[in-house]
Amino acid sequence: MDSYQPTERSKVKRGNKRAAYDHQTVHAIFDALPLCHVGYVVDGQPFVTPTLQWRRGTRLYWHGSSASRMIRTVSGGMSVCVTVSALDGYVMARSPFHHSINYRSAMAFGTAELIDDADAKDEALKHMFEHLFPGRWDDVRGNTEKELKATSVISMNIDEASAKIRTGPPVDDDEDYDDVKCWAGVLPVEQIPGAPIDDGRLLDGVGFPDYLKMFLPK
C-alpha cells in the first residue's frame, strides 16, 4: 500500500492509534472535504486562509484572486500546511475529560508553487470542475484570457501527510459507568445537501442537470 513517510514534522504526536499515513486514507479525506485551511508564514506571522482544494494524484491544488495575500506571498515558493477537517459528532462521556469529538482530518505539507502558464491554469481549473462537479465544465462557457490572468492557481506536491480519524462512542473510566448517572453517547453532526436554488434567470428549457444530482437532498 502506498504511504506517506511520516517524519518529525508530520508524525501524529497525540492519539496516534487514530493516525494513518497511507495514500488511500489521506486522499479520501481530502476528496471528501473540499474546503481546506492553508497555513503559511509571512515574516514569522502565521496565516490560515480557507479556500477550496482539489487533488490529482499526490498533488493538491487551490486557487484564488491574484490580489489575495496568499497568492502574492506564494510566488517565490512557500512552505505550507494544508489541513481539512470535519466534525462528525460530539462525543458525550461521563466525565469532562473523556468528552471528545468524532472527526476526520488530514494534514499535508509541501511547497506551494504558482501555476503561471495560462493553458496550465485552464487545465487545472478544468480538473477542479471534473473533481467537484463532473460534467459541469462542458455546460458553461470557457475561460477568457482576461479571466485566466485574474485567477491564480497554486499547486503543491504532498511531501508528507497524515490523517486522523475518531469514530464511535465515548470511552469512559470503568468506575464511571456504574457511578455516574448521566446520558452518554454521540451527538452526530451531518453535512447534507439542501434544495438547490436557481438564480431566477435561467433561459427557457433549462432544468436542473443530471450531472449535479448528487447535490440533491436524499
Range 137-156, binding a second copy (CB under 8 A) = 137, 139-144, 147, 150-151
Residues 42-71, interacting with a second copy (CB under 8 A): 44-50, 52, 64-65, 67-69
Site size toward a second copy (CB under 8 A) is: 99
Kindly tell me which residue out of 93, 153, 156, 158 binds a second copy, with binding defined by CB under 8 A: 93
Residues 176-195 that bind a second copy (CB under 8 A): 176-195
When the beta carbons of 1 and 46 are compared against a second copy, the nearer one is 46
- For residue 86, give the C-alpha cell: 470535519
Task: Tell me if 218 contacts a second copy by CB under 8 A.
Answer: no
Stretch that binds a second copy, among 24-32, 53-61, 208-216 (CB under 8 A): 208-216
| Residue 189: φ, ψ to 5° | -120, 125
Is 76 among the residues that bind a second copy (CB under 8 A)? no
Q: How far is the CB of 197 from a second copy (least distance, A)?
A: 5
Using CB under 8 A as the binding rule, the residues of this chain from 98 to 137 that contact a second copy are 99, 101, 103, 105, 107, 109, 125, 129, 132-133, 136-137
> Per CB under 8 A, does 37 bind a second copy?
yes
Burial 49-64 (b: 16+ CB within 10 A, else e): bebebbbeebbbbbbb
Q: What would the DSSP string read from start to end of 90-103?
A: EEE-SSGGG-EEEE
| Contact between residue 74 and residue 49 where contact means Cβ atoms under 8 Å apart | no
List CB contacts of 35: < 8 A, sequence separation 6 or more: 50, 51, 52, 53, 84
Phi, psi of 79 (to 5 degrees): -75, 125
- Rank residues 2 and 106 by Cβ distance to a second copy and give the closer one: 106
Task: In angstroms, give the least distance from the CB of 210 to a second copy.
Answer: 10
- Residue with smaller CB distance to a second copy, 120 or 206: 206
Q: Which of 57, 76, 77, 200 binds a second copy (CB under 8 A)?
A: 200
List beta partners, residue 112.
78, 156
Q: Bridge partners of 137?
A: none
CB burial of 74-105 (b: ≥16 within 10 Å; e: otherwise) equals beeebebbbebbbebbebbbbeeeeebebbbb
CA distance 68 to 65: 6
Decide if residue 201 touches a second copy (CB under 8 A): yes
Q: Which is nearer to a second copy, 27 or 63 (CB)?
A: 63
